[in-house]
Structure 1
């Protein structure tokens, strides 16, 4: 792919992400398709933590590598887990959790995707406040699937308008937070929905390790605004 083609594809993704114009593909009318959140979701208040039910609390974890192998849906689940799984007592900070996703982000939209990821994570001041409550977070996924709007976009796209192997998965689930309030265990739950945009390609591997000598590897393109998924 020459430099001009790369720029054209990057411009298309940016146009979709910004929500400034209708999707370049005529007749679809999807606004802000890949746009990241303008601001991070507010952290639960101390009152919310204090009055939340205490069942179903699971420990958080430090950042772990996101696996790009295994197929598009499996990768979307990996991204979702990396976005929502963190522990303020792990010794790591928001930047460390964000780096795990930066390591599997496509260079086409690296800067924009980094902004998307940061918007899903607490800011450093919020992190410090959450740490006083030993807050940890994780996600349970209820549904995951390719949204109809994306299928329409792919159908109507001209050749070369979308990056090769691009696909979108809308995920709906529950964000859990657990912590302590006056030494008592507490928890909150919040329904969430978002869309992960990614691209997958087949790469040749060592034929002695994989029988067919090839595997599908995926990279993150963008994230939708939290609770404003593609439908």
Structure 2
């Protein structure tokens, strides 16, 4: 009987096959563990190489250059205010930078605000007020999103820059120590230009503007810094 035959087999006859099966099972288990480990490692680290798809290259060879994920292009850099020790030159640089923005650039109003605040008075005394002044010149976030639909952009052409006559009266009336040495005001007169796309057509507009830039230069600082801005279209005359 087959059962009797199996029962009658001696341990010496069955041990080699049992050992072979055990060794085979252990080896298979080790292979599975290795494959699982490699799979998990690949998920954690990503591909190390890419296949060579050049038809003229040797079949089956792999490229040795590691792959890297594609990166989104960075938005254009926001222009900085040119530094100058001359109050009028510096004020014109502030004005041009303040009015130069592009809603299609990928930047936000705060990016343009930061460019102006970067040349603020290092003492920080006027920083909060200056931030408020600049915000009044730029569209808020909601308006920016709306203007972005039309790829609206803006720049300023400066027609005149001068120290207003009213500044002499302001200096005379200031209390001792109220104005740092080298503080002055420059009134800017110019034209604001806007352009965009409406119903697939390019559109432009122009608007005269005037405002005053308050700066502090030498001897307080070796180069000029921005203190405050007047309200738009409400300059010192």
What's the offset of the Cα at 1:202? 4.5
- Number of the residue aligned with 1:223: 229
1:54-87 Cα offsets, whole Å, 9 max, x none, are xxxxxxx752121222411111011101110001
Alignment check: 8 A CA contact 1:62 1:87 kept: no
Higher strand share: 1
Q: Unpaired runs of 5+ in structure 1?
A: 1-60, 204-214
Higher helix share: 2
Computed over aligned residues only, the root mean square deviation of the Cα atoms, in angstroms, reads: 1.6
Alignment check: 8 A CA contact 1:69 1:217 kept: yes
Q: 2:96 aligns with which of 81, 89, 92?
A: 81
- Number of the residue aligned with 1:200: 217
Query: Does residue 108 of structure 1 match 2:125?
Result: yes
Could you tell me the TM-score, scaled by structure 1's length?
Answer: 0.66
- The structure whose Rg is larger is 2
Alignment check: 8 A CA contact 2:190 2:209 kept: yes
Query: Does residue 174 of structure 1 match 2:187?
Result: no
Change (3 A) 1:62 1:120: farther
User: What is the alpha-carbon distance in structure 2 between the residues aligned to residue 148 and residue 180 of structure 1?
Assistant: 41
Pick 1 or 2: higher relative contact order, CA cutoff 8 A, min separation 6.
1
- Number of the residue aligned with 1:127: 144
Count residues with an aligned counterpart: 160
- Number of the residue aligned with 1:65: 80
- Number of the residue aligned with 2:111: 96
What's the offset of the Cα at 1:198? 0.7
